[in-house]
A and B are shown apart, each in its own frame.
Chain A
Amino acid sequence: MSSIKPQNDKPKYWRSLDQLEGTPEFEQFLKREFPEAVEEAPTGLPRRRWMQLMGASLALATGAAGCRYPEEEVVGFRYPEEEIAPFSRRPEGRIPGKPEKFATTLTVAGQVCPVVATSYDGRPIKIDGNQMHSLVFGADTYAQAMLLPLYDPDRSQHPVFRDGQDLSRNWDEFTVWWKEESKKLEGGNSSKLAILHETNSSPSVLAQMNEVARKFPQAKWYSYDSISGNTTAGTEMAFGKKLRPLLNLESADIIVDISSDLLGSHATQGKNNSEFAKRRTPENGPMNRLYVVESRFSPTGTSADHRLAVAASQMASFVAELEAKIDAALEAGETKEAPTEKVDILVTAMVNDLITHKGKSVVVGGETLDVETQVRIWRINNKLENLGKTVTFVEEPQLARDNAGSIQDLVAELNTGNVHTLIVLGGNPIYDAPVDTDFAAAFDKTRAQIFFGEYENETSKLSTWHLPASHGLEQWGDAIAYDGSYCVTQPLLDPIFKSKDPIQFLSILAGTPITETLEAVKQTVATTFTSSASEAGWMKVLHDGFIADSAAEAVSVSISDSLNLGDVSTTAWRGGLENAFELIFHPGSATYDGRYANNGWLQELPEPITKVTWDNVVTLSPKTAKEIGVGQGEFLAITANGKTIEVPAYIQPGQAHGTLAVGLGYGRKMAGHVGGFEENGVDPVGVDVGPLRTSQTMLLATEVEAKGTGKQFTLATTQDHFAIDLLGMREIGRRVGELVREGTLEEYETHPDFAKHVVHHPPLTSLWEDQEWMKESYDGHAWGMSIDLSKCTGCNACTIACQSENNVPIVGKEAVSVGREMHWIRVDRYFSGDMEDPKAVTQPVTCQQCETAPCESVCPVAATVHTNEGLNDMVYNRCIGTRYCGNNCPYKVRRFNYLDWRASDDRFDAANKELAKLIFNPEVTVRNRGVMEKCTYCVQRIQNTKIEARAERRAIGANEIKVACQEACSSQAIEFGDLNNPESNVAKAHANQRAYAMLAELNTKPRTRYLARITNPHPWLAPEVPDHGHHGPGEEGHGEHGDDHSHDHAEGEHAEHKEEAKEEKP
């Protein structure tokens, strides 16, 4: 008997269009655990690139300190002789072999991130968020990855003087040169000096800037960021003040996100995620409802209850209609009857929800929206009485010199020929300045250029001097966080290279060099925060990483009465873009604006929605793709402002029609050996879209033309890898609903345990359970994990945390494209529903630590065995690489290290290889080539906590052990602990009604439980709760959601289902 009806041919859930259409590529991934020619190293041209990639972060991240002894060091058969070099004087409190944590602050991707850095015997090995800070929950993905550049041999190692040729210099030589130069710039001549900097967040740096300005009173100051928004301009117009909004999502019942990506790239995403997640668990009080209106699919879009795709250039029109409707509804009351048209229902439902939740709702506009639209959104919030309740405001700190000009002003000034000396503090304007300014030509008109930055880049290569900047973990400093709190940066180590921090550099420019930056920072503290200036106060600041209670006071705002926002059509957005195209420039998920292009961890991290690694793509909706006639991975020729570039297309369901979106920061030609370095023959990663960006179209270009080129490009996406399939392609869509279970709030209220009844299976009996040795009691600890799908946004923070904690290597694009990525925790992303308007759901998957693990029974050398605490141990030094375990794992969470990266890397000398080793976490074995590896619930943390607790003769706290992915998760979707301890969060989560085990019907008894995702749709738009007890086997999978709930409770029905299940599974 077959229960599969024809309508099941089209999967209800799908991961990619390849899958939906059943392309041969996908079929291959499905059939083979290790697809295509995995035994060989890549051949031909890719191999060249492969070898190049082996440097920098790759050498860092793979077995440079392998678990086997390097042969040349072996003396006979004995271990090589090792030296122990103790301190001459050990610092007080330092215990060799015990990691220490320091609170510090990094400025990452334009945001101030309070972090905690872990130092092992003096070398930083991990960066986490500073949970004491009120804006930080979990850890930011970029901030975590900032560890890699610290040990990157590509980082600038000494000052460089370029005078026809590159000359390595030291700082003294620069100081001498600068003395000469500054003589020429004295007094009235100081107008010949121009200084360009990025947005500054540090008061001490501002103090030094003022010192420089004192020495060169007529010097001109300019500020430029490649990526910047309109939030401040919006508040200035709406409220007459430069303000920063702070959201209070926990008290918002209704959230409308208008392309602000609240849970993804938003300025306060950590706090947002945490507060949003608190309202997403139905058992802990009423749920909130999230409407997302956006142009391209964002992580917030995946979490939305309702999502509407509107073209970016028509967002103003949408907001205008929203305001008009709210105005009308505030007069006339809520609409009782649901309209008939789908978009109308959604908008009317949104308006109804908003006006019935006055003071308990929030409409958030993205910073990329134009100023008028932002003002309109503040006006809506004002009408809904949300200001001061769900959104408060703090004043923007004044951290730039007055009258700092824009890059356009700078170019104009340069073109007059009046500027002799140009100082560039960070950034990379040659690469990312608006193309219409022709910055490079203007740059050339100066006599001397000084570039100060961490890496050599396009700008430094054209400058007279390149001065290396220290890494954030190598310097003293300070910064004002988004909420106005004063944060301190403290060094974990002396600069590895001959670099200086910005405060030191500016003080050299000012002619009064500071040797101890610490004193400059203390000076700032003493002048601003007298209470923290005492020794005890200062120690507390260093301990906390910020000054408690230094956050800015909320200011009360009143919306300006004299707003004239002009007439915006309220209907234009409904028509869509028709035949026109628009192009959104968004921060590259790996590169931000290009500054992280050389960071291998970020490059290999799959983009949350497209799952593309090592490239940028132009995303477009399936309908748009069809109109243009472009296929997946085909180069799309995009023309804007008279220039054309070719970018590989990625067909992204759910994107607004006519909207093209492309990531910035790729196509770097002088980033380094990972991100592209033309001088050394390393091709750029991705495509530089800079040529299309003009001063007017930095974030969004309209009047764009696009056409296919017919040229195909290989994209390294991870979404089809490690495909879990039970009965093959025909079944997969139906089955995904069993892997990732979701339901509506109504459904949950009717049947709280619906998730447990998605799959019915015969009683599970084991062939071996009678055996004495199979009877594990787990009466000590029983480690377990729970992952709440209601909270997960698929942001990838867990993947990076795991990579850093567990010495997980990166493998490069070619390897990823054949399915050899090494991430121990992956985030699966599934779409469901209509291809043009899909819903999305994400699910982190890592080793489930099955109690009856299928991998264990097939290992011929007992390299993977079970512990009496329920962990599925992986003994790397026993593994001989048969890969049987990987084949037998139904969750596809085992990873195999195919290539030995260290053997062939000859570009870096021994000293740099030694440097690269420093990043490793010494608590975790560095795996060699040919070894299977996987998650073991951070067993090193479990063991160390156990040892510590037992030495102190105490029990392990209920939630004392935190695994790396759990720590990084800002929405606290992941819980870990002892299932035998009823007090632990994980035991409570496993007892939750929503808990289910993935593929439990295979009798694997996984230790990881997922909590089903609950959505809270508006009643008008909610799918019907499945009618129970009437369906036969053929009717499974009805309704929009398609998750085949068969949660009937009648005994007879149960039995019937078991029968069916038996027949289904041969």
Chain B
Amino acid sequence: MDRFLFPKWVNKFVPLAIGVALVGAAYGGTVLFVTSSPEILNRGYRPEQPVPFSHKLHAGRLKMDCRYCHNTVEKSSHAAVPPTATCGNCHSGADASGATPYASVRATSVALAPVRESLATGESIDWTRVHNLPDFVFFNHSAHVTRGVSCVECHGRVDKMDVVQVVEPISMSWCLECHRNPDSSIRPVDEVTNLEWGTDMSEEEKRVLGKQLSEELNIHPSTNCSTCHR
């Protein structure tokens, strides 16, 4: 049998095929680039939690301070998800004798069943991590909140979220933006958990105040690699 050869008329499709390949590659590349960017991957991530805890209710309407629950944020790199005992301060259910404490809130709520179970058994509630960083990044909460960088700078208006979601890209370039020009992200240290703060100020006002505070506190964010990668 003769060798198989493409018929001549196929030739005119060759430029077309090359064109399609190029356009396809460009399209694929763009899609890959865009979809793999932290902007797309991180922003808007809002996993479901075992207990439908509402920050909007607790931090927003009830005006509870962030540190009531995240009480290690000023001392540790972790802003520790609170132990169930913290929830139990208000939401403890009936005790062994069946008596419910007078101050217990929603002591029989179905949504709070995992909390009561955890309190009774001593087992953890397995929350899903919302804001995540790769293991080679070492972020320290205490280093930021004790220098006047508010929760809101990275986590957004959590006090307005029923379900917490990621609002910032949390990428390295985004971190560096602030590390290079920290002024407009610095506020008085006692206002760090006041997410409302500064909503009535202009950007310029914030920047001027931030600059002044940075000087007072001698804030020079480092951009050395080992600041975050060790």
Residues of A within 8 A of B75 (CB): 95, 98
Nearest CB of A to B168, in Å: 15
What are the residues of chain A within 8 A of B134 when measuring CB–CB? Answer: 67, 69, 79, 877
- A98 (CB) vs chain B CBs: closest residue: B76
Cβ of B24 within 8 Å of any chain A Cβ, yes or no, is: no
Measured CB to CB, the closest approach of chain B to A96, in angstroms, equals 5
In the bound assembly, the distance between CA atoms of A421 and B226 in angstroms comes to: 61
Main secondary structure of the interface of B (DSSP, over half): loop
CB of A77 closer than 8 Å to a CB of B: yes
Contact B146 A950 (CB under 8 A): yes
Are A871 and B84 in contact (CB-based, < 8 A)? no
Say yes or no for A578: interface residue by CB 8 A criterion: no
Asked whether B104 is an interface residue with its Cβ less than 8 Å from the other chain, the reply is no
CB-CB < 8 A to A96: which residues of B? Answer: 72, 76, 78, 80
Contact present for A79 and B125 (CB under 8 Å): no
Per CB-CB distance, the 10 closest pairs between chain A and chain B, nearest first, are A97-B78, A867-B224, A85-B124, A90-B83, A82-B129, A951-B146, A67-B136, A87-B83, A873-B225, A97-B76
Of the candidate stretches B114-122, B151-159, B190-198, B200-208, the one touching chain A is: B114-122
B138: which of A79, A943, A951 is its contact (CB, 8 Å)? Answer: A943
Closest chain-A Cβ to B217's Cβ sits at a distance in Å of: 8
B171 to chain A: which residues have CB within 8 Å?
Answer: none
24 pairs, A vs B, C-beta closer than 8 Å:
A77-B36, A77-B41, A79-B41, A79-B134, A81-B129, A82-B129, A83-B127, A83-B128, A84-B129, A85-B124, A85-B125, A87-B85, A88-B119, A95-B80, A868-B224, A869-B224, A873-B229, A877-B136, A877-B229, A925-B229, A925-B230, A940-B138, A942-B226, A950-B143
Q: Is the interface of A mostly helix, strand, loop or mixed?
A: loop
Chain B residues with a Cβ closer than 8 Å to the other chain, count? 47
A87 to B87, CA, bound (A): 12
Q: How far is the CB of A174 from chain B (nearest CB, A)?
A: 29
> Would A943 and B227 count as touching, CB distance under 8 A?
yes
Please determine whether B80 and A97 come into contact, CB atoms closer than 8 angstroms: yes
Does B181 sit at the interface, judged by CB under 8 A? no
CB contact between A67 and one of B129, B135, B226 (< 8 Å): that residue:
B135
Contacts known (A77-B35, A97-B77, A925-B135); A871 close to B129, Cβ less than 8 A:
no
A865 within 8 A of B: yes
A942 and B75 CA atoms in complex are apart in Å by: 17
Let me know if B47 is at the binding interface, CB within 8 A: yes
Q: Mark A84-104, 1 if CB is under 8 A from B, else 0.
A: 111111100001111000000
- List B contacts of A77 (CB < 8 A): 35-36, 41
Give the residues in chain A near B84, CB-CB below 8 Å: 86-89
A95 to B123, CA, bound (A): 18
Residues of B within 8 A of A82 (CB): 128-129, 132
A780 CA / B224 CA spacing, docked (Å) = 13
Write the nearest CB–CB distance from A89 to chain B, whole angstroms: 4
**Can you name the residue of chain A whose Cβ is closest to the Cβ of B133?**
A79
Q: Which of A90, A865, A871, A951 contacts B142 (CB 8 A)?
A: A951
Select the residue from B47, B84, B146, B230 with max chain A CB neighbours within 10 A. B230
B147 close to A (CB within 8 Å): yes
**What A residues does B118 contact at CB under 8 A?**
88
Q: Which residues of B contact A746 (CB under 8 A)?
A: none
Instruction: List chain B positions with a Cβ less than 8 A from chain A.
Output: 35-36, 41-42, 45, 47, 72, 74-78, 80-85, 118-119, 121-129, 132, 134-136, 138, 140, 142-143, 146-147, 220, 222, 224-227, 229-230
Q: Name the residue on A nearest B75 (C-beta).
A: A95
Closest to A89 in B: B85
Determine if B41 and A875 form an interchain contact, defined as CB atoms under 8 angstroms apart: no
Within 8 A of B (CB), among A32-67: 65, 67
Tell me whether B132 and A79 are in contact (CB under 8 A). yes
B120: nearest residue on chain A (CB-CB)?
Answer: A88
* Partner of A867 from B143, B146, B226 at Cβ < 8 Å: B226
B140 touches A86 (CB 8 A): no
On whether the beta carbons of A88 and B72 are closer than 8 Å, the reply is no
Do residues A871 and B226 form an inter-chain contact, with CB atoms below 8 A?
yes
* Among candidates A67, A69, A947, residue contacting B143 with C-beta atoms closer than 8 Å: A947
Q: Quick one: CB contact mask for A451-473 with B, threshold 8 Å, 1 for yes? A: 00000000000000000000000
A83-B126 in contact given A67-B134, A78-B41, A88-B118 (Cβ < 8 Å): yes
Q: Kindly list chain B residues whose C-beta atoms are within 8 Å of the C-beta of A666.
A: none
The distance in angstroms between the C-alpha atoms of A869 and B146, with both chains bound, is 22
Check B225–A85 contact: CB distance below 8 A.
no
Query: Are B119 and A86 closer than 8 Å at their CB atoms?
Result: no
- 8 Å CB contact of A86 from B41, B125, B143, B222: B125
Q: Does A486 contact B (CB under 8 A)?
A: no
Interface centre among B78, B222, B225, B227 (most CB of A within 10 A): B225
How distant is B140 from chain A, measured CB to nearest CB, in Å? 5
> What is the total number of residues of chain A having a CB less than 8 Å from a CB of chain B?
43
B135 and A936 contacting across the interface, CB-CB below 8 Å: no
Q: Which residues of B contact A868 (CB under 8 A)?
A: 222, 224
Give the distance to chain B from A56, nearest Cβ to Cβ, in Å.
23
Q: Are B127 and A86 interface neighbours, CB within 8 A?
A: yes
Asked whether A89 and B129 contact (CB < 8 A) given A84-B81, A96-B78, A96-B80, the answer is no
Question: B147 near A925 (CB under 8 angstroms)?
Answer: no
Q: Mark A852-886, 1 if CB is under 8 A from B, else 0.
A: 00000000000001011101010111000000000
Give complex CA distance A85, B124 in Å: 5
**A862 nearest CB neighbor, chain B only:** B225
Q: What is the distance, in angstroms, from B137's C-beta to the closest C-beta of chain A?
A: 8
Max chain A Cβ within 10 angstroms of own Cβ: one of B77, B126, B128: B77
Pick the residue among B127, B128, B138 that contacts A923 (CB under 8 A). B138
- Given the known inter-chain contacts A97-B77, A867-B225, A947-B140, please indicate yes or no for A90 contacting B85, CB distance below 8 A: yes
Contacts A88-B118, A925-B136, A950-B143 given; does A95 touch B226 at CB 8 Å: no
Contact of A580 with B by CB under 8 A = no
When distances are taken between beta carbons in the complex, the residues of chain A under 8 Å from B72 are 95-98
Q: Tell me whether A86 and B124 are in contact (CB under 8 A).
A: yes
- Give min CB distance, B11 to chain A, whole Å: 40
Contacts of B125 in A (CB 8 A): 85-86, 88
A577 at the B interface (CB under 8 A): no
| Cβ distance A609 to chain B, nearest Cβ, rounded Å | 34
- A338 interfacial by beta-carbon distance below 8 Å: no
Query: B20 CB to closest chain A CB, in angstroms?
Result: 26
Q: Is A726 an interface residue (CB 8 A)?
A: no
**A869 to B147 Cα, complex, angstroms:** 21
CB-contacts of A945-964 with B (<8 A): 947, 950-951
